[in-house]
Structure 1
């Protein structure tokens, strides 16, 4: 465990070098909230409520969901694996005294921890600057449950991107898989629009998928809604996380035999 903590620390410190990356990451999150505020301001118009949301709760949802989605840097893991395997330099991960998933996961966690501070500052500045009546629950159980669910969701996304990266051992190009995944995830996690606006049968179907619990449900819980789904949500996302552990182990151990790259 100590070695993974050291990897996390190194990754955290390395982010200080890339100041422009941090700036663009913050601007992306802020731009998304600005766009949402303009669009939903027009949609609400003279109406006080849409699908159970007031304008303040809708903007609060977007602030929270943007914050959570900015914390998901798992794409880095899949892209890193794909590039290293294609480039023949994946050998470096096969000789270090750490599991590949743990090594890449610790690196991603270090980057996410660095961005956490700045994304939190950006969210607070946004609320104060535009005087949004930020609607967040005071229920400690919902807050703790939402944070736990969001953490499990980030682990699942890391597992998913790791799995797609592993496929590079077999397929010449997995960028198509990555692109399809990114486009789908943007919608099904509720990052674009709250899933509460969709027809009920669609929502019921999405509850069976892990993406529902990555951004959407934690965001809803933090603004004080969907509390009845807290326990079932944690169980479902935990089951998906547990299911991907043997899947990734089997896929990696099976496909790595195809790797012929050299060089560290």
Structure 2
């Protein structure tokens, strides 16, 4: 366990040398909240509530969901794995005295931990800029459940990006898989619009998939909503993690034999 913790520490310190990446992450968080403010100001100009949200609660939702979305840095790892395989440099991970998936998970954890503080500062700053009545829940159960869902959600995103990354053992270009995944995830995890604005039938279907529980449900829980979905959410997200854990293990063991250690 110590070696993975040390890997996270190294990646945490490495981010100090890449200040532009930190600035970009903060700008993305700020931009998303700013665009939400402009959009919903126009919508709430003619009404008091939209699907049970008032202006303050809607902006609170966007601040929380934007913060949670920026915590997920696993897409970077997915691209890295694909590139290392294509260029013949993946051998160095195979010979490391660590599990490949656990090693990359530790890397991602280090990057996310470093960005945590800066994105939190950006989110809190906008609370004061917009003078939002930030109504976060005081329920310990909701906060704890949201925290567990966030961790499970980050683990799942690591699983799916790792899966796409190792597909480079078989496919020359995995960028199409990454782009499809990114476009789908941005919409169905509620980071673009709250899913409660969609027809109830569509939202009900989404509850069977993991993306509903990655940022949307934790955001609502932190606002004191949807407590009845906690237990189903924990079960469904755990099952998806188990399923992808098995899929990744089988896929890696099957495809790594196609790897010859030379670049394209």
Q: Same fold per TM (> 0.5)?
A: yes
For the pair 1:73 / 2:73, whether they are aligned, the reply is yes
For the pair 1:112 / 2:112, whether they are aligned, the reply is yes
Q: Where do 5+ consecutive residues of structure 1 fail to align?
A: none
Deviation at 1:174, TM superposition (A): 0.9
1:104-158 deviations in Å (ceiling 9; x for gaps): 1100100000000111111111112221111211111001100110110000000
For the pair 1:49 / 2:49, whether they are aligned, the reply is yes
Counterparts of 1:243-258 in structure 2 under 5 Å?
243-258=243-258
Q: Partners in 2 of 1:40 and 1:5 — Cα distance?
A: 42
Counterparts of 1:1-12 in structure 2 under 5 Å?
1-12=1-12
Identify the residue that residue 37 of structure 2 maps to in structure 1: 37
Identify the residue that residue 22 of structure 1 maps to in structure 2: 22
**Preserved CA contact (<8 Å) 1:190 1:216:** yes
Q: Partners in 2 of 1:44 and 1:117 — Cα distance?
A: 31
Counterparts of 1:225-264 in structure 2 under 5 Å?
225-262=225-262
Q: Partners in 2 of 1:19 and 1:169 — Cα distance?
A: 32
**Preserved CA contact (<8 Å) 2:78 2:161:** yes
Identify the residue that residue 186 of structure 2 maps to in structure 1: 186
Extract structure 1 runs of 4+ deviating beyond 6 A.
none
**Preserved CA contact (<8 Å) 2:33 2:66:** yes
Q: Where do 5+ consecutive residues of structure 2 fail to align?
A: none
Identify the residue that residue 161 of structure 1 maps to in structure 2: 161
**Preserved CA contact (<8 Å) 1:89 1:262:** yes
Identify the residue that residue 13 of structure 1 maps to in structure 2: 13
**Preserved CA contact (<8 Å) 1:91 1:262:** no
Counterparts of 1:117-156 in structure 2 under 5 Å?
117-156=117-156
Please state whether the residue corresponding to 1:124 is helix, strand or coil: helix
Please state whether the residue corresponding to 2:133 is helix, strand or coil: coil
Q: Partners in 2 of 1:138 and 1:256 — Cα distance?
A: 48
Please state whether the residue corresponding to 2:39 is helix, strand or coil: helix
Identify the residue that residue 82 of structure 1 maps to in structure 2: 82
**Preserved CA contact (<8 Å) 2:87 2:262:** no
1:209-258 deviations in Å (ceiling 9; x for gaps): 00000111111111111111011101110111111111100000000000
TM-score (ref. length: structure 1): 0.98
Q: Partners in 1 of 2:166 and 2:21 — Cα distance?
A: 26
RMSD: 0.9
TM-score (ref. length: structure 2): 0.98
Deviation at 1:40, TM superposition (A): 0.4
